[in-house]
Structure 1
Amino acid sequence: MTTTATDEVHFSPYDQEIVGDPYPVYRRLRNEAPLYHNAEIGFYAVSRFADVSAVLQDHETYSSAKGDILEIIQADIEVPSGVLIFEDPPVHPLHRRLLSRVFTPKRIIAIEPKIRQFCARSLDPLVGAREFDIIAELGNQVPMRAISMLLGIPESAQEAVRDAVDESLRTEAGAPMNTDQTLLDGQAFAEYVDWRAANLSDDIISQLLQVEFEDETGTVRNLTRQEVVLYVTVLAGAGNETTGRLIGWTTKLLAEHPDQRAELAADHSLIPNAIEEILRMEAPGHFMSRYVTRDVEVRGTTVPAGSIMMALIAAANRDEERFENPEAFDIHRRDLLHMAFGGGIHFCLGNALARLEGRVALEEMLKRFPVWDVDLSSAQLSSTSTVRGWDKLPVRIP
């Protein structure tokens, strides 16, 4: 069977019961409906690793130009220039190269001491406490300070920036995103770009304001103010939201696997691989959507042009055809080629920063709290159709 009616296996990104634990449904989709069609909401979905990879690699058939979020594609919003994740060639590679110039591995490596300081600033006051919320104290703090420092947003404004990003992604439980309240206009960041234009430094905003490039028409120019604002919007959103989720899932998974946590506490060299396994098991972004530009055959069925295809990344990361014993958490797992950062031309530009923050945050937490439990009865999953993670995750120190 390649497709299925919704009365056989049902998947909806708005179904709160599924959102609470989507993995049983993902397993059914992989096995019973590797090409799934939800006619009521209006999307197709693939869940096998090979199929998800094929969708993300083929930008000509599966376009990002209308967005990569189901609700935004359906709203048919005109996406302004500068929203990198919502662009296809020839514009996308030009804009991505610009960010690659200012988002270099050297720059990321250089900020590790500052990220360690941010972690210490959050965790040191908690030493001796018996209970705290890891999201409020660490997950909401470190990513915000790291990306804001890179961008050049003053510390006094950083919490407001984070809150603006969070608010744009929140939904009512069981409801689609309100596309009238997205960050696509970038106005939440305009004043910081204008301030930096008058106070240039060595941060990313300053570099974007000054960079010259050849655009798709062959014209050598600077980025417009609006393009810079939108670049900053995309970076701030990605840098704040997903890495905070990674910290939350790290805390939960290691609470559930104390023996493996003890190994990490004793040997920090195991932590980088553990972060990859955490990303595989609990990818912050569970799916990416694409607009289908032409009729395409998937699993023996024709998906017509004009459809929306959802690539279920979190389902692919637990595909039995790709990973041995995929439901098991194993910090020693090898061949960890997961898709938590997407794939193809839109592979996450900030993956090195996310990995660095995840590693350093875990190192610093283990130094202070080698043992912890989580109180899931008081925890709260976030209400959003774009990323999956914790708004609140109480930690108890024995």
Structure 2
Amino acid sequence: MAAPELRFDPVAQDYFDNPYEIYRRMRDEAPIYYDAEQDFYALTRHADVAAAFKDYESFSSARGCDLGMVRSGEVPQKSIIFMDPPDHRHMRSLLNKAFTPRAIQSQRDTVTELVEHYLAKADPNNFDVVQDFSGPFPVEVITRMAGVPEDFRQQVRHWIDTSLQREPGQISWSEENMKANIDSGVYYYGLVLERRENPQDDMISRLIAAEIPCENGEMRKLDDVEIAGFATLLGGAGAETVTKLVGSAVVVFAEHPDQWQMLLDDRSKIPDAVEELLRYVGPVQYNVRYSLRDVELPSGTVPANKPVFLMGASANRDPRAFDDAETFDITRDRSQAQNLGLGYGIHSCLGAALARMESAIALDHLLDFMPRFEVDFDGLERVHMQNVAGFHHVPVKVLR
């Protein structure tokens, strides 16, 4: 019997259910995939995706990062992920100051305190890893750094979830998506105005005080809309990545109990486990760019003026780059190829070190909380989101 026609639809139900089978076929049958109906390209092999991530002069971020945005050409806010150099370079150097190794390490006690707080509240007999644990704690970390008051930190998470939600078949934003983006933007804009009047020891206050060079070389302050845009982005990226990664981690370890036992036997393997999780079930599935010229890649040519999906999650399971690429193995030789789980090139994740630290601390405490556990696989509920994959519910029973 002939295989069904290969079709990649980023908002199809079968893609939400299992993107990896579609990626495998795309890598083998159409590594430079073209969708005539929607007029976009998609790259799935590691060599092509990594090359495109690095080639910012050919693959522009200035039109947005998802298909609806890139096609419309309407970017919702000034934000570093919607910039090309030189603007991107100036903003990145400014924001990097908030994520120095020292700044990240200074968050370790906060992360540990929050992880312990949420696990202490959890019911071992009725534990939803995402709703009770990996959903609430990461957004607390990043919004506290930004300067969001405690009362609004969980609200930020709900805005993020709503803004990224996509129904099967939905490419453009819904009214609910728009409202969540607007509500979030208005909230952060108001917070920026408050911090201008009353600066605090937080990221928003530091961005207000900062200056960046203009095209003519003169220095300028960031405006309120720019700062609100950065705060919105940091809240989203800082929460979503760890929330989804830790939820997926528990599911993967339930499917590979030998690997969980390795961590129980040797906690020093936790950082390696985080890297393998980012490779195997990284939350960020793709980024969309816009081709500014015809580009020659290892697998073929991408023409100018097209939306192009850079499928990092597919590249991370490319057997041309990794031995036994479809196997989850926390002892894997990580020198074989670049892990694209947190991006690559100039737009690699600004908070990557923070995400790694949060995930490692979460795993360490989960090993204590539930050394033996069962996932209710029938109760798993996947998210339907733009760019992001993971679970909304991961019900677990802790075994005595």
Q: TM-score range by the shorter chain?
A: over 0.9
Describe how 1:206-245 pairs up with structure 2 within 5 A: 206-245=205-244
Describe how 1:257-336 pairs up with structure 2 within 5 A: 257-298=256-297, 301-335=300-334
Residues 1:89 and 1:79: Cα distance change in structure 2 (over 3 Å): farther
Task: Report if aligned partners of 1:151, 1:205 keep a CA contact under 8 Å in 2.
Answer: yes
Structure 2 equivalent of residue 136 of structure 1:
131
User: Partners in 2 of 1:363 and 1:55 — Cα distance?
Assistant: 35
Residues 1:370 and 1:301: Cα distance change in structure 2 (over 3 Å): closer
Q: Deviations over 1:258-304 (max 9, x none)?
A: 12112212221110000000110011011111101112234675432
User: Partners in 2 of 1:163 and 1:363 — Cα distance?
Assistant: 26
Structure 2 equivalent of residue 373 of structure 1:
374
1:371 shift after superposition: 1.2
Superposed CA RMSD in Å reads 1.8
Q: Does 1:104 align with 2:103?
A: no
Describe how 1:1-398 pairs up with structure 2 within 5 A: 8-78=5-75, 80-81=77-78, 83-126=79-122, 129-178=124-173, 181-182=177-178, 183=181, 186-298=185-297, 301-335=300-334, 337-398=338-399
User: Partners in 1 of 2:162 and 2:250 — Cα distance?
Assistant: 24
Equivalent pairs counted in the alignment come to: 391
Task: Report if aligned partners of 1:295, 1:302 keep a CA contact under 8 Å in 2.
Answer: yes
Residues 1:302 and 1:253: Cα distance change in structure 2 (over 3 Å): closer
User: Partners in 2 of 1:322 and 1:351 — Cα distance?
Assistant: 22
Percent identity over the alignment?
37
Q: Deviations over 1:144-164 (max 9, x none)?
A: 110011111111111111111
User: Partners in 1 of 2:347 and 2:240 — Cα distance?
Assistant: 17
User: Partners in 1 of 2:167 and 2:187 — Cα distance?
Assistant: 21
Task: Report if aligned partners of 1:213, 1:222 keep a CA contact under 8 Å in 2.
Answer: yes
Residues 1:198 and 1:130: Cα distance change in structure 2 (over 3 Å): same
User: Partners in 2 of 1:349 and 1:301 — Cα distance?
Assistant: 30
Residues 1:302 and 1:125: Cα distance change in structure 2 (over 3 Å): closer
Normalising to structure 1: TM-score of the pair?
Answer: 0.94
Q: Deviations over 1:295-354 (max 9, x none)?
A: 223467543221111111111001111100011111111225310111111011110111
SS class of match (1:45): strand
SS class of match (2:24): helix
Residues 1:363 and 1:78: Cα distance change in structure 2 (over 3 Å): closer
Q: Deviations over 1:204-230 (max 9, x none)?
A: 111111112323331212111111111
Q: What letter is aligned with 2:373?
A: W
1:110 shift after superposition: 1.0
Q: What letter is aligned with 2:101?
A: P
Q: What letter is aligned with 1:118?
A: L
Which structure 2 residue ranges, 5 or more long, are not aligned?
none
Q: What letter is aligned with 1:105?
A: P
SS class of match (2:167): coil
User: Partners in 1 of 2:381 and 2:253 — Cα distance?
Assistant: 18
Q: What letter is aligned with 1:31?
A: D
Q: Deviations over 1:179-213 (max 9, x none)?
A: 76453882242122222223322211111111123
